[in-house]
Amino acid sequence: MKILVCIKQVPDLESRFKINAQGTWFEETDLAWRMNEYDEYAVEQAVLLKEQVGEADITILSVGADRVVETIKKALAMGGDRGVHVRDAHSYEKDPFEIASIIAEYARDKGYDLIFMGMQSQDRGSAQVGVLVGEMLGVSVLTTLVRFECDGQRVRAERELEGGLRAKVSAPIPALVTCQLGLNKPRYPTLPNIMKAKKKEIQTVEVGDLLKANARIETIGMYPPVRKGGGLILEGDVSDLAERLLGILKEKTTVIR
Amino acid sequence: MKALLVGEFRDGKILPATYELLTFAAKLGAETVMFLAGREDMLPHYGGKLYLADVSSVGEFNPDGHKGLISQVVEKEKPDMVVFSHSSYGWDLAPRVGLALGAGILSEVVEVEAGGEFVVPACNAKLRRRLKPKTPVTVVTLQAGAFAAASTMEESPVVEKMGGGSEVKVTFDGYVMAEKAEVDLGKAEVIVSAGRGIGKPENLALVTALAQALGGEFAASRPVVDAGWADHSRQVGTTGQSVAPKLYMACGISGAIQHLAGMKKSDFIVAINTDRDAPIGEIADVLVVADLKQFLPVFTAKVQAG
Ligand SMILES: Cc1cc2nc3c(=O)[nH]c(=O)nc-3n(C[C@H](O)[C@H](O)[C@H](O)COP(=O)(O)OP(=O)(O)OC[C@H]3O[C@@H](n4cnc5c(N)ncnc54)[C@H](O)[C@@H]3O)c2cc1C
Ligand SMILES: Nc1ncnc2c1ncn2[C@@H]1O[C@H](COP(=O)(O)O)[C@@H](O)[C@H]1O
């Protein structure tokens, strides 16, 4: 079974973001980077499937600047077999259609039985790239999965809807699935597996060789939202904070007796 | 400007988010038509033209089939824009339709601005992006609640029925409901909620102790539930419960839109967070900038002391 997993490297969202000079994205220096949370579930599900079927080959692909190689290595340490780094220092300027076109161009004719992606990226949150890649390749597309099974012919899955409801869905392979939080329990790479991963091949492909599409969306600007809420911000010594909060709750609510 | 609105029908009902599409269209000043895979005896309150496909033949969830039907309507009506909710139905279908139409696709729009620009969130609502489509037809999905629905009008649509079989890859095999809730958070006057910021399961005790001291219930954000540290029935948010207690205390919760949707109607909201910029600050009455591991024990002791 041939499996592709597409992962994105995203900044730690607890960071303080500064807007870049062009005013269209955040400044990328001084940020900590990690694997998009949703993509951890994608990698884990691919590895679980490989463990189940025995014979499988998992390619981990990421489009981005040189730093994304670190994230590819993490996915290899989780159980991926080989990496593909589509080198693009300007991937943040591309719209989801371009990113999807790049990935589809790479995957076309490679005969993947299954492609795993996250349901969305944490920085962009467009929830588009997975569906677009699947549709470009003409394979079955199943999104927002919280349960996944594959018998080698069909994917049987549950997709998450709102308010605790789930839908049972199925489709023939080849298929692309997008993974929702909670689909599985992503493993932590063990030290021996981290060592083993260092020997796994990571192929570099220049983005220019794969990009054959034009953007359909233009970025006009990026900015922090204006704080509307006039909420109080309390800072300082913990004991003092606790005293002040208690005072506020006594005054403003009826729950403290 | 003409917009095709894609309504949503689930488990025998029209979803209220369908009416948010109308608010959005009104804001744009767009002429509208609607598509719905629904039922003739259950029409939406909408005064325009409705392309209706019968769910008993096309299914409530059938992305390949619905894509084909929507493409037919687009061919006939030539809209400038196709509008979906950013819901499990919409984010699955919108990119399929957008690709079929060669359209630029904008996800989770929260505002429209002059000059055909759209605002979408980024980085867990810490930032926003202003985007503009470069294509003649645009597909958009709208963030839930961003375009609050006007009170339901008593209008009825002019119905044009459609049927149609097209090639279907994904099949829908029925609904599964989450296990019955073991706690009804809706009854609690005070909810103290634990987020990923608790760091490890042992620290959940800091949150439950405060909940107990305040005579309330404890709840959790999704990562805490996904990790198996709390039961799903304690999850607050779009895929958990919606609550509106007198006091909601969010401990180590960043304030993602899907969490806020489940608790923003609370009377008084306190957030405890090490990150002064955490988006929860946007709706919190009080944001305590502190490490919950240090703050919660001290605060709980003070509450107990009275
Ligand atoms: C379709 C969909 C549905 C979803 N449904 C839900 C839902 O129903 N409910 C839900 O909650 N989420 C839901 N989510 C997930 C949601 O998008 C967020 O990922 C989630 O709410 C984040 O949880 P969190 O705030 O606990 O964690 P994080 O976003 O990781 O935030 C942790 C916070 O803790 C703070 N922190 C860290 N350490 C400390 C410390 N020592 N003291 C104090 N603060 C600290 C950090 O500054 C940060 O703000 C859904 C997502 C999707 C895509
Ligand atoms: N630069 C990228 N490289 C590899 N995969 C990506 C990239 N961007 C997005 N993806 C994949 O597409 C999914 C959805 O991303 P998005 O459409 O940006 O929300 C992610 O979870 C990844 O699986």
Q: How does DSSP assign B146-209, residue by residue? A: TTPPPSPP----EEEEE-------SEEEEEEEPPPPSS-GGG-SEEEEE-GGG-SGGGHHHHHH
Whole-angstrom distance, CA of residue A158 vs CA of residue B88: 12
CA distance B154 to chain A (A): 27
Q: Give the CATH number for residue A174.
A: 3.40.50.620
Question: Counting beta carbons within 10 angstroms of the beta carbon of residue A66, is it exposed (0 to 12), middle (13 to 18) or buried (19 or more)?
Answer: exposed
Structure tokens at B153: 């009008």
For residues B246 and B137, membership in a common domain is answered with no
Question: Counting beta carbons within 10 angstroms of the beta carbon of residue A61, is it exposed (0 to 12), middle (13 to 18) or buried (19 or more)?
Answer: buried
Q: Give the model confidence (pLDDT) of A62-82 as tens digits.
A: 999 999 999 999 999 999 999
For residues B239 and B202, membership in a common domain is answered with yes
For residues B54 and B198, membership in a common domain is answered with no
For residues B152 and B12, membership in a common domain is answered with yes
Residue A253 C-alpha from the chain's centroid: 41
At which of B107, B130, B162 does a domain end? B162
Measured from the alpha carbon of residue A144, the closest ligand is 1
Residue B14 domain-assigned? Answer: yes
Can you say whether residue B73 is alpha, beta or left, with left for phi > 0 and alpha for psi between -120 and 50 degrees? alpha
Q: Give the model confidence (pLDDT) of A179-229 as tens digits.
A: 999 999 999 999 999 999 999 999 999 999 999 999 999 999 999 988 766
Residue A230 — very low, low, confident or very high, per pLDDT cuts 50/70/90?
Answer: low
Residue B10 and residue A161 in contact, taking contact as beta carbons nearer than 8 Å: yes
Q: Is A146 on the interface with B (CB under 8 A)?
A: no
Strand partners, B127: B122
d(CA A42, ligand 2 centre) in Å: 11
Helix, strand, coil tally for chain B in percent (to 5): 30, 30, 40
Q: Which residue, by CA, sits nearest to atom 52 of ligand 1?
A: B258
CA distance B110 to chain A (A): 12
Q: First and final CA of chain A: distance in angstroms?
A: 63
- Average of pLDDT values for B110-134? 94
For residues B231 and B301, membership in a common domain is answered with yes
| DSSP string across A151-180 | -SSEEEEEEE-GGGEEEEEEEESSEEEEEP
d(CA B196, ligand 1 centre) in Å: 6
- Strands across the sheet containing A175-179: A202-206, A82-87, A57-64, A2-6, A114-118, A175-179, A140-150, A154-160, A165-172, B171-177
Asked if residue B136 has pLDDT above 80, the reply is yes
Q: How many structural domains does chain A have?
A: 1
Residue B198 and residue B210 in contact, taking contact as beta carbons nearer than 8 Å: no
For residues B277 and B214, membership in a common domain is answered with yes
* Chain B residue numbers touching A220 (CB-CB < 8 A): 117, 130-132
- Average of pLDDT values for A106-127? 97
Asked if residue A257 has pLDDT above 90, the reply is no
Residue entry with tokens 């049972």: A168
* Chain B residue numbers touching A123 (CB-CB < 8 A): 122-123
Q: Give the model confidence (pLDDT) of B37-89 as tens digits.
A: 999 999 999 999 999 999 999 999 999 999 999 999 999 999 999 999 999 99
Residue B196 — very low, low, confident or very high, per pLDDT cuts 50/70/90?
Answer: very high
Residue A245 domain-assigned? Answer: no
- Average of pLDDT values for A109-122? 97
* Residue B2: per-residue pLDDT: 97
Q: Give the model confidence (pLDDT) of A37-69 as tens digits.
A: 999 999 999 999 999 999 999 999 999 999 999
For residues B127 and B15, membership in a common domain is answered with yes
Query: Which residues line ligand 2 at a C-beta cut-off of 6 Å?
Result: A 6-8, 36, 38-39, 42, 61-64, 91, 96, 99, 117-118, 120-121, 124-130
Asked if residue A107 has pLDDT above 80, the reply is yes
Q: For residue B91, which of B79, B104, B107 has the smallest C-alpha distance?
A: B107
- Average of pLDDT values for A123-135? 96
At which of B102, B129, B162 does a domain end? B162
Distances in whole angstroms, Cα of residue A80 to Cα of each of A148, B94, B182: 18, 31, 39
CB contact under 8 A, B290 and A158: no
* Chain A residue numbers touching B214 (CB-CB < 8 A): 255-256
Structure tokens at B272: 């405890």
Residue A25 domain-assigned? Answer: yes
Pairing mode, strands B117-122 and B127-133 = antiparallel
Q: Give the CATH number for residue B36.
A: 3.40.50.620
Which mutation among A84, A93, A129, A131 tests ligand 2's pocket best, with the greatest number of atoms within 8 A of CB?
A: A129
CA distance A154 to chain B (A): 10
Residue B173 domain-assigned? Answer: no
Residue B216 domain-assigned? Answer: yes
For residues B220 and B266, membership in a common domain is answered with yes
Whole-angstrom distance, CA of residue B48 vs CA of residue B7: 13
Residue A177 C-alpha from the chain's centroid: 13
For residues B127 and B207, membership in a common domain is answered with no
Whole-angstrom distance, CA of residue B183 vs CA of residue B214: 17
Distances in whole angstroms, Cα of residue B121 to Cα of each of B34, B81, B147: 26, 20, 15
B115 phi and psi, to 5 degrees? 80, 20
For residues B112 and B224, membership in a common domain is answered with no
Percent of chain B, pLDDT > 90?
A: 88
Strand partners, B286: A232, B270
**Closest residue to B178, CB basis, from A144, A164, A255:** A164
**Closest residue to B285, CB basis, from A97, A182, A231:** A231
Residue A240 domain-assigned? Answer: no
Residue B163 — very low, low, confident or very high, per pLDDT cuts 50/70/90?
Answer: confident
CB contact under 8 A, A227 and B298: no
Whole-angstrom distance, CA of residue B95 vs CA of residue B85: 12
Helix (H) or strand (E) holding B247: strand B247-251
- Say how many CB pairs under 8 Å bridge A and B: 250
Residue B262 and residue B221 in contact, taking contact as beta carbons nearer than 8 Å: no
Residue of B nearest to A26 (CA): B127
Ligand 1 pocket check for B240: Cβ under 6 Å: yes
Please state the atom number of ligand 2 nearest to the C-alpha of residue A121: 19
Residue A247 domain-assigned? Answer: no
For residues B118 and B218, membership in a common domain is answered with no
Residue A111 domain-assigned? Answer: yes
Residue B306 — very low, low, confident or very high, per pLDDT cuts 50/70/90?
Answer: confident
Q: How many structural domains does chain B have?
A: 2
Residue A72 domain-assigned? Answer: yes
* Per-chain mean pLDDT for chain B: 94
Q: Supply the range of the domain harboring residue A150.
A: 2-209
Whole-angstrom distance, CA of residue B57 vs CA of residue B55: 5
Q: Which residue, by CA, sits nearest to atom 7 of ligand 2?
A: A8
Distances in whole angstroms, Cα of residue B99 to Cα of each of A96, A133, A139, B103, B230: 11, 10, 14, 6, 40
Q: Give the model confidence (pLDDT) of B282-291 as tens digits.
A: 999 999 999 9
- Average of pLDDT values for A87-99? 97
Residue A78 domain-assigned? Answer: yes
Q: Supply the range of the domain harboring residue B259.
A: 185-305
Q: What CA dihedral angle connects B223, B229, B231 and B235, to 10 degrees?
A: -30
Q: Give the CATH number for residue B226.
A: 3.40.50.1220
Residue B91 and residue A130 in contact, taking contact as beta carbons nearer than 8 Å: no
Q: Give the model confidence (pLDDT) of B215-245 as tens digits.
A: 999 999 999 999 999 999 999 999 999 999 9
d(CA A133, ligand 2 centre) in Å: 10
Ligand 1 pocket check for B221: Cβ under 6 Å: yes
Asked if residue B151 has pLDDT above 90, the reply is no
Strand partners, A115: A4, A176
Residue A65 domain-assigned? Answer: yes
* Per-chain mean pLDDT for chain A: 96
Asked if residue B181 has pLDDT above 70, the reply is no
- Average of pLDDT values for B130-145? 97
For residues B206 and B150, membership in a common domain is answered with no
